[in-house]
Chains A and B, each alone.
Chain A
């Protein structure tokens, strides 16, 4: 056994122990340093990485168990061996419960120490190998922020990577929540336009007039309320990428305007005469069947072909359930960074996640995990924390007896409930409610609801 790449920290208040143990370990080729007290050891943990720490249990000031607790937080992958001259079952059990790798009773039998160090070197080499493999696996299954190992998504990544290098218009197809905007942003970041802006715009959320003004900008006085000249998204995205979401929902007039821009690469602000050159790459997205919309006459065929230069279809999450564990890990990493709390998913909760149908796709999964991380008692998300169990059937707007409410309140509650049910999937909620998406968006705004059905903070915080 040689420990050439293994960094060892010996923490003991007795100089003679530090010296003799350090010398013994150096003969095995370990890189050994020592600390005479717990606080020094903690400082050394903050500065450097250690593979193995041999920590005396009984030290004045900060004792070995406190050092062990700090080590578990600062360097969870290090193997901590507790050393004690007073072996009791209690201290050994406590040390092991706190995550010690093992413990030794002073003075050590040379064979015992030798075997333990062999074990620790093997364990540390597994830790390193594991880290390398996980990194490689993540790299292999990632296209920037997109995470997947499914064959269908791998084809999407390959196509998107190739498409990113061109300037062609891309049409991203996929259900709500399947990651269309994330893919668009990724394509932008991989493209030669990455240095320019990425501007995203949902075409379903606004009325025709407002959308026109949002896209092309307007001149002062061009309509009531146009108090100043304003640049639109096409100008804002100059040199970059313009992402037009819900493109299947735009009106016939705007379809024509957009077609002209795509053909002539020029546009005019609302109320203006001056043609402005377009220097944007368009990525459009929809969850509608645009071919069907062309057939039934609600979407212009010429615009469809202009947009459908490179079509990329994102599969729904229910068709790539093998990605769920990978996505869970990805979102938990994100949540750890945001919440400063590392949570795990229990095997039962993972089972529930795999069994769910995910109508709201990856967005729904992210929301469910966020909820789980907040609700979980401790650091493990259990099935009950996910809120995935179907809510008991209840008539819309049912209230406690004796509390009559207005029709508007009933409508608000029902929309909120349906949005909650679809995990924020507006299209699906609109279908269930029997209204179009534009109407649903306006009601969401009117009732100040978030997409997941919760009431938003009117202050905008």
Chain B
């Protein structure tokens, strides 16, 4: 299967561990090669000064032209929104090739263990790429494709697919194990 690219488009340096942890987790969950894409370009047009947040739809549109070919997951530390919601953890093109996820709301201040935020990021990354594989939200207990509107909901789910969702990813060209 073609490699999935992982691309940091945030403001601050995420540190070497963050992207590597996500890369390994995605590789295990999707059964596909995942490579880090390094490019200093940033979606500056996606910033909404009124909301002081970044528009996911504008980021996804920008990624389509500015990013590498194939499936791409962008990771940022900026707060994301879609017009109808106060914020989102991430967004993906359903059945498309681009997705974005943010760390901004995954690690609330005073979180005792920074690994919790990292774990959340890994889960949301798999979740958004699951949408690129055409998956919708899933009701199976613990499945990574469960809707998670709060960080607590992210903590409740596992980092991988239920058997039904895994089958669908495999059928859609993924190599989920």
Tell me which residues across on chain A come within 8 A of B111, comparing CB atoms.
Answer: none
Determine whether A255 belongs to the interface, using a CB cutoff of 8 Å to chain B: no
Pair B131/A106 contact, Cβ less than 8 Å: no
Pair B86/A28 contact, Cβ less than 8 Å: no
Tell me which residues across on chain B come within 8 A of A17, comparing CB atoms.
Answer: 83-84
Determine whether A16 belongs to the interface, using a CB cutoff of 8 Å to chain B: yes
- Residues of A in contact (CB 8 Å), total 22
Pair B85/A108 contact, Cβ less than 8 Å: yes
In the complex with contacts A20-B57, A27-B94, A110-B149, A1-B139 CB distance below 8 A: yes
**Contact with A110, one of B87, B136, B137 (Cβ below 8 angstroms):** B87
B contacts, CB < 8 Å to A: 57, 81-88, 91, 94, 131, 136-139, 147, 149-150, 153
Of the A-B pairs whose beta carbons lie under 8 Å apart in the complex, a sample of 5, sorted by A's number, is A1-B139, A107-B83, A109-B86, A113-B85, A114-B147
Pair A2/B139 contact, Cβ less than 8 Å: yes
How many angstroms between the C-alpha atoms of A106 and B83 in the bound complex?
Answer: 9
Tell me which residues across on chain B come within 8 A of A20, comparing CB atoms.
Answer: 57, 82-85
Pair A23/B137 contact, Cβ less than 8 Å: no
How many angstroms between the C-alpha atoms of A26 and B92 in the bound complex?
Answer: 12
Determine whether A325 belongs to the interface, using a CB cutoff of 8 Å to chain B: no
Residue of B nearest to A104 (CB): B84
Count contacts between A and B, CB distance < 8 Å: 61
Pair B137/A24 contact, Cβ less than 8 Å: no
Pair A110/B85 contact, Cβ less than 8 Å: yes
Determine whether A29 belongs to the interface, using a CB cutoff of 8 Å to chain B: yes
How many angstroms between the C-alpha atoms of A24 and B86 in the bound complex?
Answer: 13
Determine whether A111 belongs to the interface, using a CB cutoff of 8 Å to chain B: yes
Pair A2/B138 contact, Cβ less than 8 Å: yes
Pair B136/A23 contact, Cβ less than 8 Å: no
Residue of A nearest to B139 (CB): A2
Pair B84/A106 contact, Cβ less than 8 Å: yes
Tell me which residues across on chain A come within 8 A of B87, comparing CB atoms.
Answer: 110
**Contact with A29, one of B88, B137, B153 (Cβ below 8 angstroms):** B137
Pair B137/A27 contact, Cβ less than 8 Å: yes
Q: Contact mask A69-91 → B, CB, 8 Å, 1/0?
A: 00000000000000000000000
How many angstroms between the C-alpha atoms of A28 and B139 in the bound complex?
Answer: 10
Extra A-B contacts (8), CB below 8 Å, given A107-B86, A113-B149? A23-B94, A27-B136, A29-B136, A106-B84, A107-B85, A109-B85, A109-B86, A114-B149
How many angstroms between the C-alpha atoms of A440 and B37 in the bound complex?
Answer: 100
Pair A28/B149 contact, Cβ less than 8 Å: no
Pair A108/B94 contact, Cβ less than 8 Å: no
Q: 8 nearest interchain CB pairs?
A: A110-B149, A20-B82, A111-B149, A114-B149, A29-B136, A21-B84, A16-B83, A20-B84
**Closest Cβ of chain A: how far from B36's Cβ, in Å?**
27
Tell me which residues across on chain A come within 8 A of B94, comparing CB atoms.
Answer: 23, 26-27
Q: Which one of A19, A24, A27, A28 has the greatest number of beta carbons of chain B within 10 Å?
A: A27
How many angstroms between the C-alpha atoms of A201 and B144 in the bound complex?
Answer: 73
Tell me which residues across on chain B come within 8 A of A108, comparing CB atoms.
Answer: 84-86
Residue of B nearest to A118 (CB): B147
How many angstroms between the C-alpha atoms of A108 and B88 in the bound complex?
Answer: 11
Tell me which residues across on chain B come within 8 A of A27, comparing CB atoms.
Answer: 94, 131, 136-137, 147
How many angstroms between the C-alpha atoms of A226 and B8 in the bound complex?
Answer: 105
How many angstroms between the C-alpha atoms of A2 and B136 in the bound complex?
Answer: 8
**Contact with B84, one of A26, A107, A111, A114 (Cβ below 8 angstroms):** A107
How many angstroms between the C-alpha atoms of A407 and B57 in the bound complex?
Answer: 91
Tell me which residues across on chain B come within 8 A of A113, comparing CB atoms.
Answer: 85, 149
Pair A28/B147 contact, Cβ less than 8 Å: yes
Tell me which residues across on chain A come within 8 A of B86, comparing CB atoms.
Answer: 107-110
How many angstroms between the C-alpha atoms of A21 and B147 in the bound complex?
Answer: 15
In the complex with contacts A110-B150, A111-B150, A28-B137 CB distance below 8 A: yes
How many angstroms between the C-alpha atoms of A29 and B135 in the bound complex?
Answer: 9
**Closest Cβ of chain A: how far from B80's Cβ, in Å?**
11
Q: Which one of B91, B137, B138, B153 has the greatest number of beta carbons of chain A within 10 Å?
A: B137
Q: Which one of B81, B82, B84, B87 has the greatest number of beta carbons of chain A within 10 Å?
A: B84
**Closest Cβ of chain A: how far from B17's Cβ, in Å?**
28
Residue of B nearest to A108 (CB): B85
Q: Which one of A19, A20, A26, A113 has the greatest number of beta carbons of chain B within 10 Å?
A: A20
Pair B85/A24 contact, Cβ less than 8 Å: yes
Pair A26/B147 contact, Cβ less than 8 Å: no
Tell me which residues across on chain A come within 8 A of B153, comparing CB atoms.
Answer: 111
Residue of A nearest to B135 (CB): A27
How many angstroms between the C-alpha atoms of A107 and B150 in the bound complex?
Answer: 16
Tell me which residues across on chain B come within 8 A of A19, comparing CB atoms.
Answer: 57
Residue of B nearest to A26 (CB): B94
How many angstroms between the C-alpha atoms of A17 and B81 in the bound complex?
Answer: 12
**Contact with A26, one of B57, B82, B83, B136 (Cβ below 8 angstroms):** B136
Restricting to A137-152, which residues have a CB under 8 Å from any CB of B?
A: none
Tell me which residues across on chain B come within 8 A of A29, comparing CB atoms.
Answer: 136-137
Tell me which residues across on chain B come within 8 A of A110, comparing CB atoms.
Answer: 85-88, 149-150
Residue of A nearest to B138 (CB): A2
Tell me which residues across on chain A come within 8 A of B131, comparing CB atoms.
Answer: 27
Residue of B nearest to A22 (CB): B84
How many angstroms between the C-alpha atoms of A16 and B138 in the bound complex?
Answer: 26
